[in-house]
C-alpha cells in the first residue's frame, strides 16, 4: 500500500535584511538576474523581506517598500513590491504565490490601500493569477538627478483592502522604482 503523506507548504519567514549574497543564493551570480538590465533603470532596495528556505537554502524572496505617488494629481502612498525571485530549480511549485501572499499580508498592515509592482511581460499572467491587475498608461518614475522616465515595464496593482479602488488618472512615483 502506498504511504499517505499530506503536503506541507514551506514556511515563509521574515528576513531582517536581504543582501546581494542572499539574492545570489536564489538566482545565481549572473549580470541580470531579474532580466531588466536592458531598461537601464536604477532601483531602490526594499525594506521588508519575506523568504522561503528549502533544505537550508534560500529559494524564494519578495520585498516591500512604502512609496509616495500621485494618482490623478492626488498624493498618496503605495506599497511597492519587488525583488520577487524563485530559484530556477524550484519554479513551478507555488513558491512565488506563497512568498508574495505573505508579503501582501504584511503590506495590509502598512497603511496604503494598494500595492504596486513592475514586471516583464512574461510574468503578467503569473501576477494576474495572484490577483493583480494591469494599469493602463505609463507610470512616471524618478531616476538620479531628478530625471523622470516612463516605466518601460508592465505596471500592476492589487488592493490591500476590500473597499480599495484604484483612482483614475496618470501615475507618478516620487522616487526611484522598487
CA distance 87 to 52: 10
Using a pLDDT cut of 90, give the percent of the chain over it.
84
Position 36 pLDDT exceeds 90: no
Q: Quick one: pLDDT at residue 115? A: 98
User: How confident is residue 4, by pLDDT bands cut at 50, 70 and 90?
Assistant: low
- The stretches of the chain forming alpha helices (DSSP H) are 20-27, 95-107, 124-129
Q: For the domain covering 12-173, report its CATH number.
A: 3.40.630.30
Q: Quick one: pLDDT at residue 1? A: 46
Position 3 pLDDT exceeds 60: no
Position 147 pLDDT exceeds 60: yes
Cell numbers at 74, concatenated: 492626488
Domain ranges of the chain: 12-173
CA distance 48 to 106: 9
Position 31 pLDDT exceeds 90: no
Position 6 pLDDT exceeds 70: no
What lies within 8 Å, CB to CB, of 52 at 6+ separation is: 10, 11, 12, 13, 58, 59, 60, 61, 95, 98, 99
Largest pairwise CA distance in the chain: 68
Position 2 pLDDT exceeds 60: no
Q: Quick one: pLDDT at residue 29? A: 87
Express each pLDDT in 80-116 by its tens digit. 999 999 999 999 999 999 999 999 999 999 999 999 9
Specify the residue for cell string 503605495: 78
Beta bridge partners of 164: none
Region 126-154: what's the mean pLDDT? 94
| Share of the chain residues as helix, strand and coil, in percent rounded to the nearest 5 | 20, 35, 40
- Give the pTM: 0.91
Using a pLDDT cut of 70, give the percent of the chain over it.
96
Position 33 pLDDT exceeds 50: yes
Closest CA to 157 of 112, 108, 93, 114: 114
CA distance 81 to 156: 10
Specify the residue for cell string 530549480: 89
Amino acid at each position: 500500500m502506498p504511504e499517505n503523506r499530506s503536503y506541507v507548504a514551506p514556511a515563509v519567514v521574515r528576513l531582517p535584511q536581504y543582501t546581494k549574497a542572499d539574492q545570489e543564493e536564489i538566482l545565481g551570480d549572473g549580470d541580470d538576474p531579474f532580466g531588466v538590465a536592458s531598461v537601464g533603470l536604477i532601483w531602490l532596495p526594499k525594506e521588508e523581506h519575506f523568504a522561503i528556505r528549502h533544505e537550508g537554502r534560500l529559494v524564494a524572496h519578495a520585498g516591500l517598500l512604502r512609496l509616495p505617488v500621485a494618482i490623478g494629481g492626488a498624493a498618496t502612498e503605495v506599497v511597492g513590491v519587488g525583488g520577487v525571485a524563485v530559484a530556477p530549480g524550484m519554479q513551478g511549485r507555488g513558491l512565488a504565490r506563497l512568498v508574495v501572499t505573505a508579503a501582501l499580508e504584511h503590506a495590509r498592515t502598512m497603511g496604503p490601500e494598494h500595492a504596486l509592482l513592475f514586471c516583464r511581460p512574461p510574468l503578467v499572467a503569473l501576477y494576474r493569477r495572484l490577483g493583480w491587475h494591469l494599469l493602463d498608461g505609463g507610470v512616471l518614475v524618478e531616476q538620479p538627478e531628478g530625471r523622470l522616465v516612463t516605466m518601460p515595464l508592465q505596471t500592476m496593482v492589487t488592493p490591500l483592502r476590500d473597499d480599495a479602488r484604484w483612482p483614475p488618472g496618470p501615475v507618478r512615483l516620487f522616487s526611484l522604482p522598487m
